[in-house]
Amino acid sequence: MWKYVLPLAGFGLLVVAFYFGLQRNPSVIPSPLIGKPAPVFSLPNLHDPQAQVSNANYRGRPYLLNVWGTWCVGCRQEHDLLNEIAQSSPVPMIGLNWKDDSELAKAWLEQLGNPYAATAVDQEGRVAIDWGVYGAPETFLVSADGQILHKHVAPLTREIWERDFVPKISAAIGIPAPAAAGAQP
């Protein structure tokens, strides 16, 4: 009798686990780095491998770090929005080109536009590991004092940008957040 009950009970537990797992939003992955110092990196610049891109150069002002790759479908989905953000956001955006072919990455940015103030090449993925990257795209907001304020996993959308990033950026630079679209005064 037990040889039938135990497998059935195990299957029932799996069904319950899958049910609750599927109810979760995959873009909300808690990061143990929120509120902690951003890992400092210095990597080759995509456009000039002899030069280095370091987030230490952004100390004293907030910045965004966007992890991307040409192999990443979600990165393509968010790219037009990143170009818009780069034009309107008061904070610079650093690109972290993750485990990618540099020539393909340069062609991508030339063809689709370059939203990044600087693009670092993380060929081996060590910096991404330091930042706790699960996959691309991921976008981080870092405060002027170098603390990670927010992490978003998955392609950015305008709704996510305005809801999750704009208020935090406004607070980080000390200006009132703009009213949400459709909000009543």
Residue-wise pLDDT for 7-48, tens only, equals 666 666 766 656 655 555 554 556 678 899 999 999 999 999
Backbone angles phi, psi at 5, to 5 degrees: -70, -45
Whole-model pTM? 0.81
Q: In terms of DSSP bridges, do strands 93-98 and 63-68 run parallel, antiparallel, or are they unpaired? A: parallel
Coil, strand, or helix at residue 157? coil
Architecture of 28-173 per CATH? 3-Layer(aba) Sandwich (3.40)
pLDDT tens column, 118-160: 999 999 999 999 999 989 999 999 999 999 999 999 999 999 9
pLDDT reported for residue 27: 47
Query: CA angle, corner 127, sides to 124 and 130, nearest 5?
Result: 125
For 47, residues 6+ apart whose C-beta sits below 8 A from its C-beta are 106, 119
pLDDT reported for residue 24: 53
Query: Bridge partners of 150?
Result: 141
pLDDT reported for residue 33: 82
pLDDT reported for residue 14: 67
pLDDT average, residue stretch 80-104: 97
Whole-angstrom distance, CA of residue 183 vs CA of residue 156: 22
Confidence at 165, pLDDT banded by 50, 70, 90: very high
pLDDT reported for residue 163: 96
pLDDT tens column, 59-84: 999 999 999 999 999 999 999 999 99
Whether the per-residue pLDDT at 182 is higher than 70: the answer is no
pLDDT reported for residue 139: 97
Give the closest residue to 120 by CA, choosing from 101, 140, 95, 99.
Answer: 95
Where along the chain do its domains lie? 28-173
Whether the per-residue pLDDT at 86 is higher than 60: the answer is yes
pLDDT reported for residue 2: 66
Give the closest residue to 94 by CA, choosing from 112, 70, 120.
Answer: 120
pLDDT reported for residue 3: 72
pLDDT reported for residue 185: 42
Query: CA angle, corner 116, sides to 63 and 44, nearest 5?
Result: 95
Return the sign of the alpha-carbon dihedral for residues 113, 161, 96, 143.
positive
